Structures are given as structure tokens and as C-alpha cells.
Amino acid sequence: MADEITPRRDPIKSSVGNVAAQRRRQHAITVAKERREAVVRTKRLCRVGVGGGGDDQLTYDDDGDGGDMMIDAEQSILEAQTCSAVQDLQLAMLFQGKGAMQKRVAALREVRRLLSRSEFPPIEAAIKAGAIPLLVQCLSFGSPEEQLLEAAWCMTNIAAGKPEETKELLPALPLLIAHLGEKSSLPVAEQCSWAVGNVAGEGEELRNILLSQGALPSLARMMLRNKGSTVRTAAWALSNLIKGPDPKAATELIRVDGVLEAILQHLKKADEELATEVAWVVVYLSALSHVATSMLVKSDLLQILVERLGMSNSLQLLIPVLRSIGNLVAGDAHVASTVLVIGQSITDSILPALIKCLESEHRVMKKEAAWVLSNIAAGSVEHKKLVYSSEAVPLLLRLLVTAPFDIRKEVAYVVGNLCVAPSEGSGRPKLIADHLVFLVSKGCLPGFIDLVRSADIEAAKLGLQFIELVLRGMPNGSGPKLVEKADGIDAMERFQFHENEELRCMATKLVDKYFGVDYGVDDE
Amino acid sequence: MAMEVTQVLLNAQSVDSTVRKHAEESLRQFQEQNLSVFLLSLSGELAGEDKPVDSRKLAGLILKNALDAKEQHRKYELVQRWLALDMGVKTQIKACLLQTLSSPVHDAHSTASQVIAKVAAIELPQKQWPELIGSLLSNIHQVPAHVKQATLETLGYLCEEVSPDVVDQDQVNKILTAVVQGMNANEVNNDVRLAATRALYNALGFSHANFSNDMERDYIMRVVCEATLCPDVKIRQAAFECLVSIASTYYEKLAPYIQEIFNITAKAVREDEEPVALQAIELWSSICDEEIDILEEYGGDFTADSDVPCYYFIKQALPALVPMLLETLLKQEEDQDLDEGAWNLAMAGGTCLGLVARTVGDDIVPLVMPFIEENITKPDWRQREAATYAFGSILEGPSPDKLTSIVNVALNFMLTALTNDPNSHVKDTTAWTLGRIFEFLHGSTVETPIITPANCQQIVTVLLQSMNDAPNVAEKACGALYFLVQGYEDIGSTSPITPFFQEIVKSLLHVTDREDAGESRLRTAAYETLNEVVRCSTDETASMVLQLVPIIMTKLHQTLEAEKLSSDGREKQNELQGLLCGCLQVITQKLGASEPAKYAFMQFADQIMNLFLRVFACRSATVHEEAMLAIGAVAHATGPDFAKYMPELYKYLEMGLQNFEEYQVCAVTVGVVGDICRALDDKVLPYCDGIMTQLLKDLSSNQLHRSVKPPIFSCFGDIALAIGENFEKYLMYAMPMLQSAAELSAHTSGADDEMIEYTNLLRNGILEAYSGIFQGFKNSPKTQLLIPYAPHILQFLDSIYMEKDMDDVVMKTAIGVLGDLADTLGSNAGSLIQQSLSCKDFLNECLSSDDHLIKESAEWAKMAITRAISV
């Protein structure tokens, strides 16, 4: 402290050694931390057996594989307990004296708890013990609300089981559907819609049965209720119900009075969780039904979806929103010209939103966003110009080189579409020369030639088409040179003996026409 | 009571080593036998005007060292010892000290002033020696200048040593008045004025109230600015140091003075002597630091509330500031690149220019480009170097949009200059600039790549050629290559570097073997660059990375076989061993990450471990650290088979865990224990008694650097995860430790940012321990052993939630612990959780977090709790 200490900062021009060693150590610490977290996460996924806590959650029917730490001995204990619980329920149903209702509800609750436990609920044991007829009986009209709720809850969990177990619920379906109606209390209706949703998720056969029994109008009307969780569950169940492949259900849904308005309103105002489920409904509507698509396009749905896309950061929500937009743009040729009008604010805001998705870390987002863009780029010349002059282009060019194959392919469609004018009549597509020249100058050609080499016929064809554009359209006949330099001749020659005739002809024609005997003569 | 110590103090400074050692020994004995008399005698010696100056000075120095030490625990001991001394003795000592301040002998009063500050640092917080400041201030009006000078020095040291909150505002005001008066131009004695200026530097931290008062602040600023114009260079320098400190401490008060500050700094930079000019530049660098911090806090979002608004001083000063800085770049020293410690006008100017660029971004580019264009082709090397340096300095800050087109033009020029410029200084800066280009404008996040298939080869070729240039140029070329390959770290499965991989590795290895690789830190740069080349490589080159293993192993083997070396030679050898261990660490990590490569790598594992064990025989902290890190990587790659190395490795782990002095070694070893736990799982059990014993000792020690403690707690978690319910026997030791640490870290009120950051690290460590223990015990019949600890843990979670100062990492870990507790204890925890004050709010807050990791943990916790409560 005696001597003056002049504080000195590190010079900007410093040796790389110091920084590097520091970074390397930091990296080792980070790696260790990540591994520790991975160990903890794995342990957390292991479910507790019967001895530990119970599992009271409702089970969505999905195909996720959980851990399977359940030991056989524990499973058999669980099954024995289930069996006796069902027997207790049977006794309780027969009991007529004082407190009969409480007894029934208590017995039901016990069955429900057992069915909620562990990764592998003892559904089979419950069915074998004769639970279904008892549960159906519990659903009879006029039963107390708590009893209905517990019984529907049991069925929800049974419906989440294996397909043959779900089918056991057939006798219960009419009653479950009946309780969806306006006369039921909201919790009961919601619980029943949950069960119905799980059943619908099982497959086409059960979906058709549910539809024929009138599940759709009831669920559709639940979309108009004003309780968030009810609407969410109904929307989820509906998206399972209209999955198709028959478009009839989707068409029927959109024609239900008030549904379209409800969808619009929820997408506009609801929280992200609810909006997510509603967006999935829109995905299936727009993917399956032309009627639905044309009605949706006439509303301001697209505007709302684009706003959501721009604002939200929830991947769960963004995926169905993005896919819906794609379905709408691809499904209705008029969308581009009538909704995405150049100069309208929606058109200005859709591009940044899509660019955000293209920049996302998530593969599906990138792919879907590129797909939507390719549909926009397939529109009018003005639309092509809009995309071309946006910030999407550098991104697309990079993705075309660096992204995984499926994204590259979608991106190639966008880039390709930017270079050709909408075709009038048949014949070869007309070129947009300045787009082509610029994009080629930015190095997009190798990306397409890569596609030519791929095993995917569709991608290869796309690649060949683009090569054709370059050969034909680059000014001063510079096309052939460029293609040759990028190893394009080699890529095309691979098709000489290809089993796909169309590709073989395309490639051979191109090679003959542009790289025939005369090729290169002028250079001498 | 005091004893005569003059002769022994003089002997202690004798040239005759026997005499000196004897004297030192007697002093030591004296100190141990009777501390009070010893200290009293020393203070008497210091005060004795009839004593030789050498003995007085040493007496003061020993006194000072008896009051303070660098190591925290030693310092604590000394403070306790002083406080325990007899009041009467202390009063006498302090009287002697104050009396010495009036001594005309400079060394005596200057030493005394430092000792007084040390005593004050101990006593003022205890509310002792209340009359000190008063009596110092009364000295100020003494006529002899040297008394005034000594008093001002004392006040300065006092402000440096003592925390502002133990001095009340009234006394602060008086101190400041005295100091500022001493600085005033009316003060004729330069020594007094200098002492006052330096005292102000330390007193600035006390002056918050005064700087909030316009009149007082105006006055202080006027006096400081005047002092920057004083004929005495030392006073000018000290005054600028005050201004630098004011700029960072009171940034938000600068606006009225900024024009004046610019005028005086510009004059100083252009005309004054170097030490003063350097401080003038430092002032602008400090303002940049402040504005960068503020703008970072804004995060580009100007609605966010920051404590301090940005006044954009740099942006406003830009048109004048930049030319001033550019001028300094032309004032290079001939051989500054060869001297690692060099610091001069040109270096400071470029550093400041870099900060300005980071502060203002795009705006700097048009102001610097003409300078670059004008000078870059001039025959005088200084002009070419300055132009290049200016370019390199502004590459961080402006947007890629602004820079890319310029860089695309410049790149070719730079590559040519690096090959052809006759001047090595220019080449050095050129290579550095290329490195900066690659660091900031190349990589997966950059939109328009500046490195393309067309120029990649040329770039690599030029850089590799430069590896044969002078050591300083080669070192910078390594740096450029380092950032070049780093830009490809996320490239995927095919890297543009692959075709050059072999050639690059060969060149770098060649550089490490250069005779002159010890100069300019060239060898270090070459190895670290090699590491980065390996780290960023793809599977395409895995076989070539594998070929490196025996090469590096042979090099490491050779260092171990080396004959006896001089101490200088050994130091170099150690440095090399550290680099080679680091290199093996990176290679192991890389090859261990892919199955086929790992399989091939395993053939070397025995030999590598053998070498590492031999490395531990060398005494060098850095080498141990690097070897430990590498062993962690081997453990991860080897998995359960690592058990075979444990019998031999164990003692070195223990040594590492005991290494308190070189705490980095201890910290790294703790991390490696974690790696080993994950590799061995329950096979680590036989070693856990020993490891846990060491870890618990480490935690109880007040000698161990605090930064090691959070990782030790995390390590508890690693051990529990590995050995599961076998952790039972450590619970009775580990849990109380965790509990008391948790209590300490629950509250942070009044702590500064650094302390809050540390507290969060500590909390995270504690929470990771709890998570590991709960998950380790899950599904075991012994979970009930944990029930007694649950209430405290829930309380800990409550309190950190209430405190509202946890960071995201802690939040995620904490909500995870809540889930782990519910998951493992099940229904036993249900009611406790329901009773908890805030766990529901905490959970809800986490569920709605933007951070998806927090959300994920929270969703999991919610599920676990639902299950626990419903049973």
C-alpha cells in the first residue's frame, strides 16, 4: 500500500494462450455439470414402486416410453390390490343401507387411485375383475356428481391403456358421450371428454364409433364454454376425434354453429396452453377438409395465426400454428392472392415470423417454416419478389448448405420457386433471370447438385430442374460452365442407368443438350 | 517496560547472513515469548528520534506485519491477537505511532502512517480508538509541512483500509475538507499537495454523500481538474488517477464536467509525459466500461429500468475522441511485441479504441476507415502498423452488416501483408487482426460467411507459413488459427478444415518443437491451438486425432525421463508437462465422445494413466491441475473399468484434496472425484470413506479458499448418486454441514454483488447435494432416514424463495430438490410440503418461468408433489 499502484488494464492485443487455457478449464467444469444433471434426470425418471408414493395424475394417452423400473413382485401386489378394490366396489354397489353413496364413492376412489399408479397401471387386472360393467353402472343418469367424476376418471385411465383394453370401454361410450352435454356439471363433462379423447386417440375404428354415437356435436359445444380447462380438454379431444383420414368429421365440426367463432376467439385471446390445443384442431381441420379450409380462409384466422407466430416463444404452440398456416397457404390456391396481398400488414408480418422460425434451433420448426415459405414463393411474381428481397434469403442459402437433408429439401423448393415465374399453360417454366443470377452467385448451385445425388427421387428431381434452369437461364451461356465446375455433370451422369425413367430421361436430355459433342469447342 | 531493540533490528538487515539469521531468530523468539512488550518496544523504536532510520523503518514494518496478512485465516488470527492485547499497552503503542507522524524523518513518519491505518482497520469497526480521526485532523493545521504530509498520507491509507460504513458522515466531511484543501492550488508545498491528491483517491469511496451535493461536488471536481494542470508531474498523474476513479464510481454525476474532462485529457494525451497521458486514456476507457455495462443491462431494450441511465458520453465525444486515440497509435515502441509486460501510449490507445467500438458500435467505423486507408500502404512501418492495429481494434462492436464488406476487401490485403510485409511488428499486428476477424465475424451465427470454399485454403496456407516466422508473429498466427477453427465448432459432420487437418496438426507440432518456442509464449499458443483444432474437429478426422495420442504421450514420457535440470529448466519442463496433459485431456474428451473412436482410444488408456501417475511425482500445481483434469476425461471415457486405476490413483486424489495452498488443484480434484463417481457408480464405494473424510475436513477448514466449497457440496451429491443408500453412514456428518451452510447462505441482506454471486454458487452446491442424496436413496428401504432432515430443507427452500435474489441456476436446482424430496419421501413429505409457507408460490412461479429448464424441473416437481400429497 505504500507504493503507488497504477491500475493497468489488459491490452486488447493479448496472447491467445491465456484465454484458451481458461476456456478449456471452464469447458471441463461445464461438461461435468451437464453430466451430473443427466444422472439426476435419469434417476428422476425412474418411477417409485408400490412401497413409495402413489401416482394420482391423469394419464394422457400418448406413446411415450417411461422408465420401466416396476419390479414384477410389486406389479403382482398392485394387481392383487386392484382385484380386491373392484370386489369392494361390487359390494358397495349392492349395498343399499345408510351411507351407501359414500361407500360407493370411496370404493370408486380406491379403484381410481390404483389405476393412476405407476407407469403400468393395473388396467388388465381391473378389467378381469369385472370393473367395466360396474363403472358403467356408476355412470347411470341421476348419479351424484362425485360418483360420476370418479367413474369417468377411472375410464380415462383405462382408455389410456393398450388398444384391446380401450375397446373394453365400448359399452360405456354412449353414457360418456351423454355426460358431455349441457346438463352435466362442467367438471363431469370435462372428465368425460378426457375419457372420450383418449378413446378417440386409439384409432380410426373407435373414432368412427364415437362419431356415429354423436360425440362430435357435444364436444364442439364444449368449445363454446367459458372455462379454460374445459375448452382445452374439449379441443384436445376434438383434435383426436377428427384426425381422419375421412374428412367428414372435420367438415362436420366446422359447420357446427359458433365453432369457427370460438376457434378464432381462443386463438386470439387464450393463454398459450389453450391456444395450443385449439391450434391442433385447426391443423386437422385445414389438413383434411376443403370445406373447413375455405371457411377458415375467409375468416381472419390467418391474421391471428400470424400474430401468434410472431409473438409466442412456446414451441408447443408454434408447431401447430405454423403447420396450420402451411396447410392454409398450401391448401387454398387463392390464399396467396386474396389474403396475403402485397402491401397488407399481414403479408409484411408473416415473413419476419417465418424467419424467426427458420432461425429456431428446432428442426421441425425450420422445416415447417421452409415449407410455408415455399408455398408463398410459389405464388405470384410479386410474392416471389417479396420473399426474394426479405432477410430470409441469406438464411435459406445457409440452410441449403448446412441443414439436415429434410430441411434442405424444403429450402430448395423455396429457392427454386423464387427463380421461376408462375407458369401460364404448359411448357417449361419461365425464368426470373435476376433472381436466378443472384442466387447462383451466392453459391446455391452446389446445394441443388447435392440434392441430385440424394436417394430421394423427389429431391433429385428438384435438383435436376434447378440445374436445367441454370443451364438455360444463366446469361451469356455461362450455365454449363457453372454446372460443370460444381461437379454437376458427374451428378447427372449417375442417372444414366437409374431405375426411375423420368429422372433418367431428364438427366440424359440435359447432358446431351448442354454437354454434347460441341461442348467446350468455343474455349479453344 | 519496553526493551532496547535497535541493535537486533540493525543486525536483521546485516549483509552477514549469520548475523542476520541470528537476529531474525531473536526477534521471532521475542515476539513469541512476549508479544505486548515486543510490539511496545517496536513502537518505541519507531518513535525514537535518536534512533537510526534503518532500525526505525524495520520496526514499523514488523509492526505492520503483526497486524495484517494476505491469507484470510492468518489475518483473522492477527486481528484476534491484537484485540486481546492489554488496553494500556495498546494505548501506549498508538501514542507512539501518532507521535511518529510528526517526525521530520520521511521513512519514519511514512511507515507510521501505514501502521496507524492497519490499527484503525482493526479497531474502528469495534468502535475503539474513536479519537483517532479527530487527532489526525488537528494535525492538519500544523505548520511543518512534513507533519501535514504525513497526516494526509495517514488519512489516505485509512480510507483505503477501513470500510466506509464505520466512519460517520460528519468525520467523512472533515476528512474530505482537509484533503481537498491540501490539494488546492494555494498549497505551496508539492509533497503536501501530492499526499493530499493520493489521499483523495482513497477517500472517493467515502464521498457518496458529498458527490450528491452539487456544491461540494463542483468544488471537488474543480480542485481535481486544477491539479491535473499542476507543474509537478506526479501530482498531475495522481489527479488523473482520481478522475479515473471518479469516472467509474460517480459516472452518473459526470455530465456537467464532461467537456472540461475532454479538454484536459486531450491536452494530456497529446502533450504530457507518458505516465500522465496513460491515465488520461484510462479515463476514457473507464467511461467506456461504465457505458458498456449499462447498455448491456438495457439489453437493447430501452424500457428496462436500469439503476443508472446511459449518458452516451462516448457517442457525443466520438468525433474528437477517435482522432485523439488514432494519433496515439503512431507512438509505438520499437520492440514492444517482444516484451510481454509492455504498456505504452499506443497500446493503451488501441485498447481504448476497442472499448469505444464496443460502446458505440457502427458509428466508429466511418471515423476510423479514413485513417486506415491513408496509412495502411505508407512506407513507414509505424503508419502501416497503426492502421492495422486500428482496424483490429474496432472489429468487436460494430454490426457484421457494417463490417463484412470492409473485411472482405481487407482480408486479401491482410493475407498478403502477413506474407510480405518487411516489418515484423506489422506482421504481428496483422496476424492478430486476422484472429480478431475470425473471432468476431466468422462462425455459425454469422449470416454472411467471410470464409468461403474459395479462400479457405489460402487463409490456412498463409497462417501455416507464418508459423515459421519470428516467435511473436508465429504466436499471433496460432491465435488466428485458433479462432478460425473455433468458428467451425458447430459445423456438423463435414468441416471445411478437414482437408487441411493433417497439415495443420503437423505445422503446430513443428512449432512446439521450435528452439525458440519459449519466446512470446509461442509454445503455449501452439498447444492451445492444437487443442482447439482437435476440439472442433469432426468424425471425419477422428483417426488422425487418434494418431496424435502416441505422439503426445511420447512427448510427455520424454519430459519425465529428462536428466536433472536447473531450476529454470525445471520450470520450463513443468510448463511443458502442463501443456501436454492439457492436450491429452482435450483429445480424450473428443475421442471419448464417439463410440468407435472411444473403442480405439482405450488401447492407450493404461499407458496414459501410467504417465499421469508419474506426473504427480513432480511438484507443480499447474501440472497437477492439468493432469487431474485429463484423468477426469479418462474416467468418463473408461466407465466402470476405471476401477482398476483406483488403487494407485487414490493417494493422489487424497493429496489433491488436501492441497489447501494451491486451492485450484483442490477444486479440480473435487471435480474429478465427481467424474469418477459417475464412471464407477457403486464401485467407488471402497474409496468413499477416505474421500468423504477429506471433503469434510476441507469444509471445516478456514484455510481453504471459499471458492472450493460449493463444488465440494455438489460432490456430496455425486457420491450419494453413485453409492445410493450406502451414503447412510455419512449422513450424520454431511447433513449438519449442509444445514449450517444452508443457514449461512439463506440470507444475503446487505451483501454486494460479488457476495450474492458466491452465495448463489454455495446454494447451488448445497441443493445439488440434497438432490443427489434424495435421488440416491430413492426406492431404498432406508428413505425414512431422510425424513428428519426434510423440515429444515423445506425451510431453506422457503427462505431462499423469500429472499428473492437467487439466480436462474439456483431456482432450477431448488425446485428440483422440492420434487426430489416429494419423490423420495412420498406420503411422508406430503403434509410437510402442504404446510410449507411458500412452496406452492415457488412452484407456480417456476411453472410460469420463461426458462425452459426451470419449467421442466418445476413440472417434474409438480408431478412428484401431486403424487406425494394424494396418497
A67: pLDDT confidence band, cut at 50, 70 and 90? very low
Tracing cell 536433472 back to the chain, one arrives at B564
DSSP B661: S
Preceding omega of A245 cis (within 30 degrees of 0): yes
Interval A429-481: pLDDT, tens: 677 878 888 888 888 888 888 888 777 778 888 888 888 888 888 888 787 88
A324 residue type, one letter: S
- Tell whether B35 is covered by a domain: yes
The nearest alpha carbon in chain B to A272 belongs to B848
Partner-chain residue, chosen from B160, B393, B632, that has the shortest CB–CB distance to A12: B393
- Tell whether B370 is covered by a domain: no
Residues B471 and B499 reside in one and the same domain: yes
Alpha-carbon torsion (B833, B835, B836, B838), positive or negative? positive
Residues A322-334: what's their mean pLDDT?
78
Partner-chain residue, chosen from B482, B668, B819, that has the shortest CB–CB distance to A16: B482
Q: Which residues are within 8 A (CB) of B835 and not within 5 positions of it... i.e. 6 or more apart?
A: none
Q: Which residues are within 8 A (CB) of B49 and not within 5 positions of it... i.e. 6 or more apart?
A: B103, B105
Residues B102 and B68 reside in one and the same domain: yes
A98 touches chain B (CB under 8 A): no
**A1–B241 C-beta distance less than 8 A:** no
CB atoms near residue A454 (< 10 Å):
16
Residues B560 and B531 reside in one and the same domain: no
- Predicted local distance difference test score (pLDDT) of residue A336: 63
CB atoms near residue A473 (< 10 Å):
18
CA distance B1 to chain A (A): 31
Planar angle of CA A180, A288, A283, nearest 5 degrees: 70
**B285–A24 C-beta distance less than 8 A:** no
Question: Percent helix, strand and coil across chain A, each rounded to 5?
Answer: 70, 0, 30
Residues of B in contact with A313 (CB under 8 A): 850
Residues B578 and B532 reside in one and the same domain: no
Residues B551 and B524 reside in one and the same domain: no
- Domain, as residue range, for B590: 547-638
Partner-chain residue, chosen from B110, B771, B870, that has the shortest CB–CB distance to A56: B870
Q: Which three cell numbers stand for residue B455?
A: 479462400
**A443–B528 C-beta distance less than 8 A:** no
pTM: 0.66
CA distance A98 to chain B (A): 27
How many domains would you assign to chain B?
A: 4
**A24–B586 C-beta distance less than 8 A:** yes
CA distance A44 to chain B (A): 7
Residues of B in contact with A67 (CB under 8 A): none
- Tell whether B322 is covered by a domain: no
**A2–B531 C-beta distance less than 8 A:** no
CATH number, domain at B725? 1.25.10.10
Residues B478 and B566 reside in one and the same domain: no
Query: Which of A5, A6, A8, A12 should be substituted to probe chain B, the one whose Cβ sees the most B Cβ atoms within 10 Å?
Result: A12
CA–CA separation, A230 and A220 (whole Å): 11
| Cα A209 to the center of its chain, rounded Å | 26
The nearest alpha carbon in chain B to A404 belongs to B492
Q: How many residues does chain B have?
A: 871
Nearest CA to B111 among B229, B250, B9, B238? B9
For residues B709 and B762, the answer to whether their CB atoms sit within 8 Å is: yes
pLDDT at A70 over 80: no
B129, B148, B182 — which closes off a domain?
B129
The helix/strand/coil state of A431 is strand
CA distance B347 to chain A (A): 6
**A46–B529 C-beta distance less than 8 A:** no
Task: Check residue B34 and give left, alpha or beta (phi > 0: left; psi -120 to 50: alpha).
Answer: beta
Residues A287-295: what's their mean pLDDT?
83
Nearest CA to B382 among B334, B449, B443, B444? B334
Q: Which residues are within 8 A (CB) of A381 and not within 5 positions of it... i.e. 6 or more apart?
A: A421, A422, A432
Residues B562 and B510 reside in one and the same domain: no
**A15–B867 C-beta distance less than 8 A:** no
The nearest alpha carbon in chain A to B157 belongs to A1
Residues of B in contact with A51 (CB under 8 A): 781
- Predicted local distance difference test score (pLDDT) of residue B662: 87
Q: Which three cell numbers stand for residue A490?
A: 458427374
Q: How far is CA A80 from CA A63, A111, A132, in A?
A: 26, 12, 17
Residues B589 and B498 reside in one and the same domain: no
Residues B601 and B737 reside in one and the same domain: no
CA–CA separation, A410 and A357 (whole Å): 14
- Predicted local distance difference test score (pLDDT) of residue B729: 92
Write the DSSP string, A149-213: HHHHHHHHHHHTS-HHHHHTTGGGHHHHHHTTSTTS-HHHHHHHHHHHHHHHTT-HHHHHHHHHT
Of A139 and A97, more confident: A139
CA distance B630 to chain A (A): 9
B129, B150, B176 — which closes off a domain?
B129
Write the DSSP string, A73-114: HHHHHHHHHHHHHHHHHHHHHH--STTHHHHHHHHHHHHHHH
Write the DSSP string, B431-467: HHHHHHHHHHH-STT-SS-SS-HHHHHHHHHHHHHHT
Average pLDDT, chain A: 78
- Predicted local distance difference test score (pLDDT) of residue A157: 83
- Predicted local distance difference test score (pLDDT) of residue A247: 81
A24 touches chain B (CB under 8 A): yes
**A12–B826 C-beta distance less than 8 A:** no
- Tell whether B436 is covered by a domain: yes
Compute and round to an integer the Cα radius of gyration of chain A: 31
Nearest CA to B790 among B809, B811, B818, B763? B818
A5 touches chain B (CB under 8 A): no
CA distance B524 to chain A (A): 6
Q: What is the dihedral of CA B793, B797, B799, B802, to 10 degrees?
A: -170
- With a cut of 0.85, is the ipTM above it? no
For chains A and B, CB pairs below 8 A equal 167
Residues B592 and B702 reside in one and the same domain: no
A361 touches chain B (CB under 8 A): no
- Predicted local distance difference test score (pLDDT) of residue B69: 87
CA–CA separation, A434 and A414 (whole Å): 16
Partner-chain residue, chosen from A25, A53, A395, that has the shortest CB–CB distance to B827: A53
Q: How far is CA B742 from CA A366, B578, B717, B757, in A?
A: 45, 37, 15, 15
Q: Which three cell numbers stand for residue B260?
A: 472540461
- Tell whether B554 is covered by a domain: yes
Partner-chain residue, chosen from B483, B532, B826, that has the shortest CB–CB distance to A52: B826
- Predicted local distance difference test score (pLDDT) of residue A460: 83
pLDDT at A228 over 90: no
Q: Which residues are within 8 A (CB) of B263 and not within 5 positions of it... i.e. 6 or more apart?
A: none
Q: How far is CA B65 from CA A198, B88, B115, B151, in A?
A: 78, 21, 9, 21
- Predicted local distance difference test score (pLDDT) of residue A425: 58
Nearest CA to B658 among B805, B167, B650? B650
Residues B518 and B623 reside in one and the same domain: no
- Predicted local distance difference test score (pLDDT) of residue A51: 30
Query: Which residues in chain B come in under a pLDDT of 70?
Result: 1, 299-306, 749-751, 870-871
**A36–B678 C-beta distance less than 8 A:** yes
Of B511 and A358, more confident: B511
Residues of B in contact with A402 (CB under 8 A): 444, 491-492
pLDDT at A225 over 60: yes
Question: Percent helix, strand and coil across chain B, each rounded to 5?
Answer: 80, 0, 20
Q: What are phi and psi of A420, to 5 degrees?
A: -120, 145
- Predicted local distance difference test score (pLDDT) of residue B94: 95
- Predicted local distance difference test score (pLDDT) of residue A53: 34
For residues B398 and B357, the answer to whether their CB atoms sit within 8 Å is: yes
The nearest alpha carbon in chain B to A32 belongs to B675
CA distance B866 to chain A (A): 7
CB atoms near residue B323 (< 10 Å):
14
Residues of A in contact with B397 (CB under 8 A): none
Residues A275-303: what's their mean pLDDT?
85
Nearest CA to A384 among A425, A344, A334, A434? A434
Q: How far is CA B718 from CA A93, A389, B482, B671, B680, in A?
A: 53, 54, 34, 10, 11
Write the DSSP string, B214-229: HHHHHHHHHHHHHHTT
**B343–A44 C-beta distance less than 8 A:** no
- Predicted local distance difference test score (pLDDT) of residue A69: 39
CB atoms near residue B750 (< 10 Å):
7
Residues B599 and B627 reside in one and the same domain: yes
Residues A201-217: what's their mean pLDDT?
84
Residues of A in contact with B241 (CB under 8 A): 6
Nearest CA to B811 among B776, B781, B855, B774? B855
pLDDT at A165 over 70: yes
Those of residues 394-423 in A touching chain B at CB distance below 8 A are 394-395, 398, 402
pLDDT at A97 over 80: no
- Predicted local distance difference test score (pLDDT) of residue B383: 96
- Tell whether B158 is covered by a domain: no
- Tell whether B173 is covered by a domain: no
- Tell whether B300 is covered by a domain: no
A73 touches chain B (CB under 8 A): no
Interval A372-427: pLDDT, tens: 888 888 777 788 888 888 888 888 888 888 877 778 888 888 888 888 877 665 56
For residues B794 and B774, the answer to whether their CB atoms sit within 8 Å is: no
**A44–B823 C-beta distance less than 8 A:** yes
CA distance A18 to chain B (A): 8
A56 touches chain B (CB under 8 A): yes
Angle between helices B145-161 and B190-203 (to 10 degrees): 10
Q: What are phi and psi of A431, to 5 degrees?
A: -90, 150
**A20–B529 C-beta distance less than 8 A:** yes
CA–CA separation, B686 and B689 (whole Å): 7
B96, B129, B162 — which closes off a domain?
B129
Q: How far is CA B810 from CA B805, B829, B854, in A?
A: 10, 22, 9
